[in-house]
């Protein structure tokens, strides 16, 4: 008798334990508008934001992640989006330098946390919004520009980490940070290690993504519209917006285990799962 593997079988996915930094949204609200998702004229519910955030925090703990916390600061409502607080790799925290004055005090607050927790801090020279725009896939840093981080910050990344840095240009104001348009599914890399929204990138960037990731998941507009791509993966478990239904199916077909969480209140600020998560790599 011969056993044949079904050709459609999904690859085995491997989870590795992640260490992340988060910020409880005790001071969350929408009081200014720096992206198209934000409507300061509409009410927000801070206690609901906290409860929803706590489901994400609990999920990470359930998955065995180490979760560190930074205290939120009154008057900095976007501090919950910890991904923007810096980019951390090889024990070096590259500090953020925010584009909008409303968020600028967050940069030093996060740098102080990094220094207090044993990271070497590299002070930023040009505008950059941390892991919102910088994503590590394998040994390469994919760096977004177009709305927030200045392309000059990509040179700083090259100097600091000595790795390949690939610039990707974003073109749709609703997908203003790289982590709103591209999700890293397998941090080790590979042809199928990311998901992205093709129409969020310029033609040159799309060519790069198609060439390097020919088997990537392309998400649909409905999933992008709930920031489905703004997700976080340990290589096997992918925490996504619970409303991203088609993306959830696509992930299952590829052998990943999706976990939906509802962060609808934080979506009012233009952020989701990944925005609330800054990976700490020693
Ligand atoms: N209101 C915040 C801003 O516009 C949301 C940040 C979302 N963060 C992210 N990593 N995409 O800056």
Q: Is 275 marked active-site? A: yes
Output the six-digit token pair for 190. Answer: 């590979």
Residue with tokens 């969020």: 200
pLDDT digits (tens, 9 = 90+) for 94-123: 999 999 999 999 999 999 999 999 999 999
Distance (angstroms) between ligand 1 centre and the Cα of 281 equals: 21
How many A from CA of 272 to the centre of ligand 1?
9
CA distance 23 to 248: 26
Does 81 have pLDDT greater than 60?
Answer: yes
**pLDDT of the residue at 11:** 83
Q: Which atom of ligand 1 is nearest to the CA of 84?
A: 10
Q: What is the pLDDT of residue 3?
A: 53
Q: Measured between alpha carbons, how far is 212 from 270 in angstroms, rounded to an integer?
A: 28
Domains of the chain, each with CATH number or no CATH: 19-279 (3.75.10.10)
* Residue-wise pLDDT tens digits, 158-167: 999 999 999 9
* pLDDT score of 205 more than 60: yes
Assigned token pair, 21: 């930094």
For residue 12, how far is its CA from the centre of ligand 1 (angstroms)? 33
Determine whether 189 is exposed, middle or buried from the number of CB atoms within 10 Å of its CB (0-12, 13-18, 19+).
Answer: middle
More confident residue, 246 or 11: 246
| pTM of the model as a whole | 0.95
What digits encode the pLDDT tens for the residues 35-60?
A: 999 999 999 999 999 999 999 999 99
Q: DSSP string of 155-210?
A: HHHHHHH-SEEEEEEB--TTS-SHHHHEEES-TT--TTSEEE-GGGB-HHHHHHHH
**What pLDDT is attached to residue 88?**
98
The closest-lying atom of ligand 1 relative to the alpha carbon of residue 35 is 4
């Amino acid at each position: 008798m011969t056993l044949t593997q079904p050709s459609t079988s999904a690859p085995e996915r491997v989870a590795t334990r992640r260490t992340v930094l988060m910020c409880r949204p005790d001071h969350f609200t929408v009081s200014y508008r720096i992206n198209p998702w934000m409507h300061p004229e509409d009410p927000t519910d801070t206690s609901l934001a906290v409860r929803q955030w706590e489901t994400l925090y609990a999920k990470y703990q359930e998955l065995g992640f180490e979760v560190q916390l930074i205290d939120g600061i009154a008057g900095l409502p976007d501090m919950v989006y910890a991904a923007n607080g810096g980019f951390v790799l090889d024990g070096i925290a590259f500090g953020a330098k925010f584009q909008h004055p409303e968020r600028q005090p967050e940069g030093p607050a996060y740098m102080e946390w990094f220094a207090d927790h044993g990271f070497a801090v590299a002070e930023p020279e040009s505008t950059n919004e941390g892991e919102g725009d910088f994503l590590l896939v394998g040994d390469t840093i994919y760096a977004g520009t177009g709305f927030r981080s200045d392309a000059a910050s990509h040179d700083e990344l090259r100097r600091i980490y000595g790795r390949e840095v690939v610039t990707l240009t974003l073109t749709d104001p609703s997908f203003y940070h790289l982590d709103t348009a591209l999700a890293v599914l397998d941090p080790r890399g590979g042809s199928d290690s990311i998901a992205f929204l093709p129409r969020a990138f310029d033609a040159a960037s799309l060519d790069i993504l198609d060439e390097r990731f020919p088997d990537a998941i392309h998400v649909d507009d409905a999933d992008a519209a709930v920031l489905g791509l703004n997700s976080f993966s340990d290589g096997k478990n992918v925490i996504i917006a619970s409303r991203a239904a088609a993306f959830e199916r696509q992930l299952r077909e590829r052998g990943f285990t999706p976990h939906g969480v509802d962060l609808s209140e934080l979506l009012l600020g233009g952020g989701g799962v990944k925005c609330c998560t800054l990976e700490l790599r020693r």
